[in-house]
Amino acid sequence: MSKLATNFLEESQLKAKDLNHRNTINFNIGKYNAAVKNGKLQFSELMTARERAKNTKWRAIEHLDKSLEDFEMNFTRRGGKVIWAEDAQHAREEILAICKAKNCKTVVKSKSMATEEIHINAFLEENGIESIETDLGEYIQQMDNEPPYHIVTPAMHKSKEDIAQLFHEKLGTEPALNPEQLTLVARDKLRKKYLEAEVGITGANFIIADIGGIAVTENEGNGRLTTTFPKTHIALVGIEKVIPSLSDLALFWPLLATFGTGQKVTSYNTILSGPKQETEPDGPDEMYVILIDNGRTNILADTVARESLYCIRCGSCLNACPVYKNIGGHTYKTTYSGPIGAVITPHLRGMEEYMHLSYASSLCGNCTEVCPVRINLHELLLHNRHKAVEENYTSGSEKMAWFGWKQVSLSRRMMNLVSGNTKNFFMKRFFRKAWGEDDRELPIFSPKSFNQLWKEKRGGK
């Protein structure tokens, strides 16, 4: 077992016992569930909408090369610049080169999981450039030196009291401020940064191929400020975010809003198709879109796992997952947590080191049930497990154990030879720690199997 897997198991066990964490998460997810239930009412045929969205993403991914080339052609026609980044290091270097060319001292960022993926904040800080998160949840997490806890709600694990205390410690505010007061404090601090920043960095929820634009969805308005005040705008976007047409947003924006936050439509939806034009009053003088691979073509090459590229990052599978709700987002030690993270991370960062994530699932199928684009997440988790075995990343002792289990399971005589007492001995000897040493009772096997009892009842028949 890798060190990452060992640490994951240890931290999972600790976090699962943290009742304060569980109460906070259950409270926040409970509010989310209530909102989503109401949001879904806007769809007269919800299942049809989800199937259409899946089919649209299928078409976009199956023709990904052409879709991206169409985007580049249309985007550059309006003065935008496209950069293709093979991996995280390449993307970081390109962003740094742009910042240095602009003599940049301060960068403002809106929420972006792609920038978290390449750890851009730390990289810019190492190179003498201040990088400020402007989304409130991300701002809180940056202030606390933590990565996002959740794809959509970065500070979901913090209560309002936790955040008030954090502001008190870091910003010197009163320790009992309410959420509205805390928001006003953050607003006052961040507004000054928009005026100072030479460069604004965002992600994008969608790449629109036919018009050469990107769509940015948010609820705070910080995304619009990030793309308007600085003279240079950089958008870092995963290549899988492409959709064929502007008209597709009529389907994807409501789905993302409903399954992401329970809204009918998100508060701010912006389409950006290049730098400011001569007839336009505001916007950046220069706009760059960096299309990042960083392992995504590994997923594209796997015809089964390819379906995971349909993800629109709504976070609904995280909120539905019983494992995520018990162990939390930080335990995964990856940019993308929960079921979708467990599916894609082994392909993005290596099966050998991250295959353990695909086993962190009850396979209940709830993630698949709630996915707005109907990705078969629980089946893809099984696919990853199969690949891990096929590629010989499992240990020899594990292979021998499963081989022995298979032989016994195929033979009723051998199964009856192993008595209940023998099974109980093996459970105590080898599974005590795995089952949970503190608060879980080991199952007790009956001295006789059902097969033996049935034979005795029927006189040996």
Write the DSSP string, 43-112.
-SSHHHHHHHHHHHHHHHHHTHHHHHHHHHHHHHHTT-EEEEESSHHHHHHHHHHHHHHTT-SEEEE---
Q: What is the model's pLDDT at position 439?
A: 63
pLDDT for 55 equals: 98
350: which 2 tokens?
Answer: 């290596």
CA 108/CA 131 separation, integer angstroms: 6
Mind giving me the DSSP string for 207-267?
EETTTTEEEEEESSSHHHHHHHSSSEEEEEEEGGGEES-GGGHHHHHHHHHHHHHS-SS-S
Residue 384 is encoded by which pair of tokens? 């990853």
Cβ atoms within 10 Å of 170's Cβ, excluding its own: 12
For the chain, which domains are there? 1-42+305-394 (1.10.1060), 45-294 (3.40.50.10420), 408-457 (no CATH)
Q: Are 163 and 182 in contact (CB under 8 A)?
A: yes
Sheet strands side by side (includes 213-218): 242-243, 206-208, 213-218, 268-272
Report the predicted TM-score, pTM, of the whole model to 2 decimal places. 0.90
pLDDT per residue as tens, the chain (461 positions): 789 999 999 999 899 989 999 999 999 999 999 999 999 999 999 999 999 999 999 999 999 999 999 999 999 999 999 999 999 999 999 999 999 999 999 999 999 999 999 999 999 999 999 999 999 999 999 999 999 999 999 999 999 999 999 999 999 999 999 999 999 999 999 999 999 999 999 999 999 999 999 999 999 999 999 999 999 999 999 999 999 999 999 999 999 999 999 999 999 999 999 999 988 888 899 999 999 999 999 999 999 999 999 999 999 999 999 999 999 999 999 999 999 999 999 999 999 999 999 999 999 999 999 999 999 999 999 999 999 999 988 888 888 888 888 888 888 888 777 777 777 887 777 777 666 666 667 888 888 888 888 888 887 66
Question: 215 in helix, strand or coil?
Answer: strand
Question: What are the strands, taking DSSP E only, across 184-284?
Answer: 199-202, 206-208, 213-218, 232-238, 242-243, 268-272
The pLDDT of residue 425: 81
d(CA 288, CA 79): 9
pLDDT at 400: 86
Residue 450 and residue 164: Cα distance in Å, rounded?
58
Residue type for 244, please? Answer: P
Look-up of token digits 């995963």: 238
- DSSP secondary structure string for all residues of 101-140: HTT-SEEEE---HHHHHTTHHHHHHHTT-EEEE-SHHHHH
Distance set, CA 15 to CA 19, 157, 166 (Å): 8, 12, 21
- pLDDT for 382 equals 97
For residue 436, what are its two tokens? 């949970």
Task: Report the C-alpha gap between 321 and 332 in whole angstroms.
Answer: 13
Give me the half-sphere count of Cα atoms (radius 13 Å) on the Cβ side of residue 276: 15
The β-bridge partners of 268 are 218
Q: Provide the 3-class DSSP secondary structure of residue 218.
A: strand
Q: What pLDDT score was predicted for residue 393?
A: 87
Of 283, 227, 21, 240, the residue nearest 108 (C-alpha): 227
Query: In residues, how long is the chain?
Result: 461
Tokens of 437: 């040493």
- What gap in Å lies between CA 228 and CA 102, rounded to an integer? 16
Q: What pLDDT, on a 0 to 100 scale, did the predictor assign at position 437?
A: 60
Are 233 and 285 in contact, with CB atoms under 8 Å apart?
Answer: no
Q: How many other C-beta atoms can be found within 10 angstroms of the C-beta atom of residue 154?
A: 25
Taking the C-alpha atoms of residue 98 and residue 77, their distance in angstroms, rounded to an integer, is 20
Distances (CA, A) of 445 to 89, 200, 411: 54, 62, 19
Burial zone of 205 (CB within 10 Å; 0-12 exposed, 13-18 middle, 19+ buried): buried
The structure tokens listed for 269 are 């939806």
